[in-house]
Amino acid sequence: MTHQEKRAWITLVVSAVAYAGYVAVILSRADDGRLTSTPYAGVLLWTIGGAIAASIVVEIVLGVVNPRASRVSDVRDREIGRLGDHVGQAFVVIGAVSAMVMAMAQWHWFWIANVIYLCFVLSAVVGSLAKVVVYRKGVPQW
């Protein structure tokens, strides 16, 4: 498994786990049933920061466990990375457009922030999943 594939797996798992944790905390704090009255900003920022830190720590641990693993990327790695990034970027655009429409419709900030966060997570998860699939099955020939 190449270093880039390991990084894709790390991003996939850490992003999904962090978002699931965020949703669990927010749902557990919704006492009156209204999510818009639930304090979310601190949890959102801690979740994002924790996911970034966890990704870094896991990558360092993998580097310590296998110090001789090659970090050299070749043309195939760059093509797979580019493909995964293109797949993931679609969700960033969807999130931005959705947030813009929600802001123009004057939706509550809670929903706008959560749609943006969800689309960032989907971008990371789907982009990483695309990379992993291509590493396992090969680059599709069009």
pLDDT in tens, 8-65: 999 999 999 999 999 999 999 887 778 888 899 999 999 999 999 999 999 999 888 8
Tokens at residue 128, please?
């990483």
Cα 22 from chain centre: 13
Domain ranges of the chain: 3-137
Residue 5 scores a pLDDT above 70: yes
Sign (positive/negative) of CA torsion 130, 134, 137, 141? positive
Angle, helix 3-29 to helix 75-104, in steps of 10 degrees = 20
pTM (2 decimals)? 0.88
R_g (Cα) of the chain, nearest Å: 18
Contacts of 16 (CB under 8 A, 6+ apart): 121, 125
Contacts of 25 (CB under 8 A, 6+ apart): 43, 47
Tokens at residue 31, please?
């006492």
Q: What is the mean pLDDT of the chain?
A: 91
